[in-house]
Chain A
């Protein structure tokens, strides 16, 4: 058995750096101010080609904001963005500790990507729809979700609003129009187009935002989304978060050649690549995409260029497949520090205020955690009642589920 060939000619890509090697990313050739900002409500998709081939930046390496894409935000908005990012990072650290001590079954941090969901959600209207992946929980803080309820979900205790049915980080928050997260990667991307079309059918000025990873962009759902969004001119913002890694699979396996952003152009979609660690740039491109969608010009495809600084999840050990310090070499730096430095630079913040913010967030998280475990922890419960296995499978419980429920209670 087996072919008798001398040498296989299959060409398999590799990650740029592996454990034991020194990561060195070339610095970006695009500086803030390099790329013009077309008029969102009139430009054609091909007038965005320079944005897809380039990289929209607002903050430079010294914390200065410049260029046409500077959203010129009130410092109050910037401070709120910083607060949410710090809140998320401290929250993530606490949840990770809970996981390590057996208080959560599993966890996924947003480390290094905190700006993505927070800046982008802040750039939207309150009644716009959010269709996230597990790497955008930060949007919930922007929409005002109570942290205790988030922790109760992660524990899967009696107060978990989804009744212990999904793994941690699979939030659902209807009041914030934050749609239930699903594990199969990419499915939400094409669904978001449907959500957006429903808003359009109802004649409402609502935009839907969704995200997908570089890895999941190889799924059919990504291409369904771009095509359907283009065909029906859907008011949707399609973000591809290129954080370089899908567990151990490098982005080189999701695209053979070229960047991700330009993939939107042949579908006829306005396409932009943005520095995903630059709060101002993210806010600005999202606002632009929202204006465009709201004006009836349809979807924008955005590659959010960033780096997954942490492990994929609590079950992952990235030191097995990439240099341990690679994230420190990322040209985009740390999104939290960059916004902080900018605020200090413009005289609207200080190290002292940062320290105060961090300790305030720390207490907020600790208080929330202490309250959440009152409703039950993973080791000891109480858990949602076993009846909840059978409810909400259908709108009404059909006879065969009633029968199985009764059988479970008897046994």
Chain B
């Protein structure tokens, strides 16, 4: 099985879907001739033609609206918003239009758009190339929200998202495009030799709504998504505590069975995300775990998140949750 980095895995998913379904059409800023600023659509225009893979004006609102209209008329558009930070001009189209069309029309119309967007920090991107705005979409009924973390799940989840008849917001942790990230900016490995970088060449899918158990343990449940999955792996190792690490993968709908099963076993829970704490998706996780597992909990649920501030540039490592902060939270859950 070939080793792929996340970019190659995403590219493979897009390539396969372009081959399988003539109604799949890909567009966005710089995605056509150039192949995307992160190279995710590299070679696709050459292989599938510029009527299937093309560049757009710099207009996120226009991209979302055009994709929505194409979806209404039978196509399956897969569009790229170059950075999640730039999704907001498209917010009305996503929240009021894509998310509501099936319901508002009594099921007469729907639009199966997949909206891919690189998210999260760790690339010295400052305020506007680092944010992780998943909770601004998980709060909107009608959308599915996916956050990949490895080459293997990136490909399988993207294929499922494209095949899904509901609109999907697909977040890609840009810090992990070329390697897993363990929280040390001075030591950034590639995906070479990583087991989750063994990616089949052919079509496969990962069911939306299912989490992945990244590591298995007995004493604490750590819930994360995106780049934080790898940081948590390192934190668990440093803590010396035996933990279940749940890579959520889908935020809406999320995998309640995987989480309740794990917390019922461990009685302890730490939730980790890069986005700010207040109203972050961690709040939803914490509330849900407490609703479902209250009598099994042995200690308060911990949240380790980005701060409630704009995302910084040079001090980003003080902002993003790192192994030390996460390990400390894991240890706090172990106190009597």
Contact = CB atoms under 8 A, between A and B. Distances in A.
A340 interface: no
A392 interface: yes
A192 B69 contact: yes
Interface stretch (B7-15, B56-64, B215-223, B309-317): B56-64
Interface in B92-134: 92-93, 96-97, 100-110
B141 to A, nearest CB: 5
Interface string B245-275: 0000000110010000000000000000000
B206 interface: no
Contact of B104 (A131, A166, A225): A166
Interface stretch (B71-79, B187-195, B322-330): B71-79
Interface in A171-206: 172-174, 179-180, 182, 184, 187, 190-199, 201-202
A193 B166 CA distance: 21
A395 interface: yes
Interface string A127-168: 001010000000000000000000000000000111101100
A398 interface: yes
B300 interface: no
Given A202-B74, A393-B103, A221 B61 contact: yes
Interface residues of B, number: 46
Interface residues of A, number: 45
Contact of B73 (A187, A198, A398, A399): A198
A191 B61 contact: no
B144 A394 contact: yes
A163 B69 contact: no
Quick one: which of B93, B110, B144, B256 has the most chain A CB within 10 A?
B93
A195 B73 contact: yes
B105 A228 contact: no
A257 B144 CA distance: 44
Quick one: which of A160, A194, A399 has the most chain B CB within 10 A?
A194
Contact of A395 (B77, B141, B165): B165
Contacts of A174: 105, 108-109
Contacts of B209: 398-399
Nearest to B144: A394
B291 to A, nearest CB: 10
A215 B119 CA distance: 35
A231 interface: yes
A354 B57 CA distance: 52
Contact of B69 (A172, A193, A395): A193
Contacts of B96: 182, 184, 187
B157 interface: no
A224 interface: yes
B107 A392 contact: yes
B142 A194 contact: no
Given A163-B106, A394-B102, A195 B70 contact: yes
A179 B72 contact: yes
A194 B65 contact: yes
B51 interface: yes
A162 B105 contact: yes
B31 interface: no
Given A194-B69, A195-B70, A231 B57 contact: yes
Contacts of A16: none
B57 A191 contact: no
Given A174-B108, A184-B96, A398-B209, A195 B69 contact: yes
A179 B141 CA distance: 21
A148 B333 CA distance: 63
A266 interface: no
A393 B252 CA distance: 12
Contacts of A393: 102-103, 141-142
A397 B75 CA distance: 23
A176 to B, nearest CB: 11
Interface string A214-234: 000000110011011001000
Contacts of A165: 103-104, 106
Quick one: which of B62, B144, B252 has the most chain A CB within 10 A?
B62
Contacts of B100: 182
A202 B97 CA distance: 23
A352 interface: no
A6 interface: no
A170 interface: yes
Nearest to B95: A184
Contact of B105 (A180, A195, A208, A400): A180
Contacts of B160: none
B65 A129 contact: no
A385 to B, nearest CB: 13
B68 interface: yes
B155 to A, nearest CB: 22
B89 A220 contact: yes
A249 to B, nearest CB: 19
B25 interface: yes
A224 B65 contact: yes
A135 to B, nearest CB: 18
A265 B57 CA distance: 18
Contacts of A172: 104-106, 108-109
A180 B100 CA distance: 11
Contact of B67 (A194, A199, A201): A194
B106 A179 contact: no
Contacts of A194: 65-73, 77
Contacts of A196: 69
A383 B144 CA distance: 29
Given A182-B96, A201-B51, A191 B72 contact: yes
Contact of A161 (B23, B61, B106, B144): B106
Contacts of A225: 62, 65
Contacts of A227: 57, 59, 62
B75 A201 contact: yes
Given A165-B104, A191-B97, 12 more contacts: A163-B106, A179-B72, A179-B105, A192-B69, A198-B72, A202-B74, A224-B61, A227-B59, A228-B57, A231-B56, A395-B110, A395-B166
3 nearest CB pairs, A to B: A194-B69, A224-B62, A190-B65
29 contacts: A129-B73, A163-B106, A165-B103, A166-B104, A172-B104, A172-B109, A180-B105, A190-B61, A191-B69, A193-B69, A194-B68, A194-B73, A198-B70, A198-B73, A201-B70, A201-B75, A208-B69, A224-B61, A224-B66, A228-B57, A228-B59, A228-B66, A391-B107, A392-B103, A393-B103, A394-B142, A395-B110, A399-B209, A399-B256
